[in-house]
Amino acid sequence: MSNKKGRFGVHGGQYIPETLMNAVIELEEAYNFYKNDPEFNRELTELFNEYAGRPSRLYYAEKLTKTLGGAKIYLKREDLNHTGSHKINNVLGQALLAKKMSKTRLIAETGAGQHGVATATAAALMNMECVVFMGEEDTKRQALNVYRMELLGAKVVPVKSGTATLKDAVSEAMREWTSRIEDTHYCLGSVMGPHPFPTIVRDFQSVISKEIKAQILEKEHRLPDAVIACVGGGSNAMGSFYNFIEDKDVRLIGCEAAGRGIDTFETAATVNTGRLGIFHGMKSYFCQDKFGQIAPVYSISAGLDYPGIGPEHAYLHDIGRAEYVPVTDDEAVNAFEFLSRTEGIIPAIESAHAVAHAMKIAPQMDKDKIIVITISGRGDKDCAAIARYRGVEIYE
């Protein structure tokens, strides 16, 4: 699907400064070697299983299923991983790769803080220095995660430029990487950016769909009818979709953050409101104005508050293999509360976008149909923000 230069249809590529080219070429060569190296794969599997707690559960949400009264719903519990989200899958892979490449320092961007926490965790485990760039706005929305990263020994740099959110954190991490390449690996957190990142991150996250497939075959002796996941850059969704792409009967549904609605300017629904562009190293869909200036996006979810989408998702959209649907703040908050009450599982507000869409379609589906929702992270980090959304003034 991707050629030598990391293209997915027209999307992808390597639109980065010349200064970084040898670094990404070196990364690509190292990855191509280690992905087939038995020792690397043994070490990574051991980290996944013994450290991160994989495989994550595929849980039959019986109460949720009965309450909605339609399709049978399973939850892929990435929230139960160490550090509380799917981000650890990619980070353990990249940190191990960086270690093999003799890098001693990891830098990362973070939105909600989940990727930053995961990177800080891997850096602590593997004795690496760690610097995390986080939009200043997000350091306020997710203050607890800032503390958590510092506790793990990372330095958190609040980014004040632009809209002071995830896209600015990515820009700042890229700037930092151009200034220090020799000892530093940029541990990019999603299936985005220049080649080879979209491929590397997808491969490390594809453990999610590999497990779903084995688990659902064991429990139901057949594949699901739909797999639903939230999409910002799109790493948990790509991981959840990847091993089902060739199974054409499995609907793949990505849930974008619509913010206050796709008919408003306060949205982050890239496929639904954006158009083709070139930014952050890749050609893909971006929210932008008519002159190509990147739009200041908005979502209640710091992790989905990004104006672009990974190039492979853009391609899956183009060929009609995956659907990308908008979910508003209101719908996501309702789903956040609904899943908490019906199943006793507090999902990340990001994952709640996927739950919200399942709440819309499950009742319309027959009872013998099966939906898998990826719960990409746990929602403890979001409780104070959701309380405030509901008018309860609590702070962490």
Binding site for another protein (CB under 8 A): 5, 13-23, 161-162, 167-168, 171, 174-175, 178-181, 275-281, 283, 286, 288, 290-294
Cβ 295 to another protein shortest distance, Å: 8
Q: How far is CA 72 from CA 60, 75, 93, 139, 349, in A?
A: 8, 10, 33, 38, 22
Longest dimension (CA), the chain: 56
CA distance 103 to 253: 37
290 an active-site residue? Answer: no
| Residue 301 among the catalytic residues | no
Q: How far is the CB of 7 from another protein (least distance, A)?
A: 11
Spatial CA neighbour of 231 closest among 102, 345, 330, 317 = 317
Please state the closest distance from residue 194 (CB atom) to another protein, in A: 9
Residue of 78, 299, 376, 381 marked active site: 376
Q: What SS3 string covers the chain?
A: CECCCCEECCEEEEECCHHHHHHHHHHHHHHHHHCCCHHHHHHHHHHHHHHCCCCCCEEECHHHHHHHCCCEEEEEEHHHCHHHECHHHHHHHHHHHHHHCCCCEEEEEECCCHHHHHHHHHHHHCCCEEEEEEEHHHHHHCHHHHHHHHHCCCEEEEECCCCCCHHHHHHHHHHHHHHCCCCEEECCCCCCCCCCHHHHHHHHHCHHHHHHHHHHHHHHCCCCCEEEEEECCCHHHHHHHHHHCCCCCCEEEEEEEEECCCCCCCCCCHHHHCEEEEECEEEEEECECCCCCECCCCCCCCCCCCCECCHHHHHHHHCCCEEEEEEEHHHHHHHHHHHHHHHCCCECHHHHHHHHHHHHHHHHCCCCCEEEEEECEECHHHHHHHHHHCCCCCCC
Rounded to a whole number of angstroms, the minimum distance from the CB of residue 324 to another protein is 21
Residue 194 or 379: which CB sits closer to another protein?
A: 194
109 is catalytic: yes
In terms of CB distance, is 134 or 348 closer to another protein? 134
- 373, 252 Cβ separation under 8 angstroms: no
The answer to whether 353 and 255 have CB atoms below 8 angstroms apart is yes
* Amino acid identity for residue 241 in this structure: F
User: Which residue is catalytic, options 109, 172, 211, 256?
Assistant: 109
| Positions marked catalytic | 87, 109, 376
